[in-house]
Amino acid sequence: MSFDVHKIRKDFPILSQKINGKDLVYFDNAATTQKPQSVIDSLSSYYQTINANIHRGIHTLAEKATAEYELTREAIKNFLNAESAEQIIFTKGITDSINLVARSYGGVYLKTGDEVIISTMEHHSNIVPWQLICEEKGAILRVIPINESGEIIFEDYEKLLSEKTKIVAIVHASNALGTINPIKEIIKKAHRFGAVVLVDGAQAASHLEIDVQDLDADFYCLSSHKLYGPTGVGALYGKKSILEKMPPYQGGGEMISEVTFEKTTYNELPYKFEAGTPNIADTIALRKAIEYIQQIGKQAIATYEAQLLDYATKKLSEFEQVQLVGTAKEKVSVCSFVMHNIHPQDIGIILDTEGIAIRTGHHCTQPLMNRLGLVGTARASFAFYNTFEEIDKLTFGLKKVIKMLS
């Protein structure tokens, strides 16, 4: 299929909106992506035609809903090139996936004096769950430093690794800087010391081809709402041998095999980790989002988004007052910047008057901002439905920012 952005935009109804009398320019895709019509239709169609609780019913609707729900699991398995669908656990999102691993895996396998390694550029949701479990277990959190471009310093990572390292938890692509981390090498090194690696794929899965087997990842976390799917759904991929030896995370319905007051035996994978009635409608709609992405093709998406990033980088660099934050060699389409003597929040407020939605602030990466000596940045993040003309509007908007604020 040839890449036609104007045709693609028609599939995203929200994009034709006016904001403050201007065409919406949606550059906040790293926070959440917009949804194609097929996803929106799937949600209402579910409630109109097959709504039923899944897995336990024997009536027709329950079977239909269950089948659709499991199709999404299958779709994610293919999307990540996982070995089997039972290794895909549905969660509420990345945060939930990481907490699951920290609690369930960390709860059993972390001992006093053990170490967990994360990086400086982690999102709070890949920091706090580890802090909590480390504190509880008397384990130590170690942090991989970054260089001025916003790349992890690999040699320092290697130095941190030791027999004490039990878990390495790292973001695949940084939401604040765009940096793509060398995940495959990171995993390879960690495995030499017998540590397991969890990858936060929030920002990577929508831009890059993901192959968990090729990466040899032990855990890989996905978030539907960053992938053109609904909010409140995510997935956790895990290696089967690891998932099998992990205890359940939450207790309740669905995750059990047999319950007596004396002892409960747990259901098999993946249900062992899926307590309670899940977010059925949104999970089903997520498959439509994945199909949409696959129909355009990750390769075509990556190529086009790289062009957008290059163009934006070039345009922003032309401003004397603008300083780009995050200039790694390998980046997803995230453009973070600061402006001389202008608070990021003020940039965002003025751009909003032009209908341009960007994100400003610390992007839930306060330790990273501290490391960079910034209170925050302004961040434009692009998706495949964005256009070069929209980047021109951003440039125009920034001229207005400068005119009004300096």
Partner 1 sequence: MQTTEELKAELIENFSFLEDLDQKYEYVIELGKKLPMLDAQFKKDEFKIKGCQSTVWLIPEVAETTISFRADSDSVFVKGLISLLIYVSNNQPKDDVAKLNTDFIHQIGLGNYLSPTRSNGLVAMVKQMKLYAQ
Catalytic residues: 364
275/375 with CB nearer partner 1? 375
CB contact burial 200-215 (16+ within 10 A = b; e otherwise): bbbbbbbbbebebeeb
Please give the structure tokens belonging to residue 277.
């009635």
Please give the structure tokens belonging to residue 168.
């390495």
Beta carbon of residue 169, minimum distance to partner 1 (angstroms, whole number): 25
**CA angle 175-154-193, nearest 5°?**
105
Query: Which range touches ligand PLP (CB under 6 A), out of 131-139, 196-204, 309-317, 327-335?
Result: 196-204
Using CB distances below 5 to 8 A depending on partner kind, what does residue 232 bind out of ligand PLP, partner 1, none? Answer: none
Amino acid letter for position 187: I
Query: Which range touches ligand PLP (CB under 6 A), out of 78-86, 119-127, 340-348, 391-399?
Result: 119-127
CB contact burial 383-393 (16+ within 10 A = b; e otherwise): bbbbbeebbeb
Q: Which of 123, 207, 287, 359 binds ligand PLP (CB under 6 A)?
A: 123
Query: Which range touches partner 1 (CB under 8 A), out of 5-13, 90-98, 356-364, 379-387?
Result: 356-364
Beta carbon of residue 344, minimum distance to partner 1 (angstroms, whole number): 7
Using CB distances below 5 to 8 A depending on partner kind, what does residue 94 bind out of partner 1, ligand PLP, none? Answer: ligand PLP
Told to check if 23 binds partner 1 by CB under 8 A, we report no
Q: Which of 200, 218, 274, 305 binds ligand PLP (CB under 6 A)?
A: 200
72/365 with CB nearer partner 1? 365
Q: Count CB-CB contacts under 10 A for residue 131.
A: 15
- Strand-pairing partners, residue 265, are 258
CB contact burial 52-72 (16+ within 10 A = b; e otherwise): bebbeeeeeebebbbebbbeb
95/165 with CB nearer ligand PLP? 95
Contacts of 125 (CB under 8 A, 6+ apart): 94, 95, 98, 200, 364
Using CB distances below 5 to 8 A depending on partner kind, what does residue 34 bind out of partner 1, ligand PLP, none? Answer: none
**Pairwise CA distance, residues 377 & 371, whole Å:** 13
Q: Count CB-CB contacts under 10 A for residue 7.
A: 10
Q: What x-and-dash track marks residues 347-366 binding ligand PLP by CB under 6 A?
A: -----------------x--
123/272 with CB nearer ligand PLP? 123
Q: Count CB-CB contacts under 10 A for residue 262.
A: 5
**Pairwise CA distance, residues 14 & 24, whole Å:** 9
Told to check if 369 binds ligand PLP by CB under 6 A, we report no
Beta carbon of residue 174, minimum distance to ligand PLP (angstroms, whole number): 7
Residues that bind ligand PLP (CB under 6 A): 93-95, 123, 125-126, 171, 175, 200, 202-203, 223, 234, 364
Q: Which residues bind partner 1 (CB under 8 A)?
A: 20, 342-346, 349-350, 353, 360-362, 375-376, 404-405
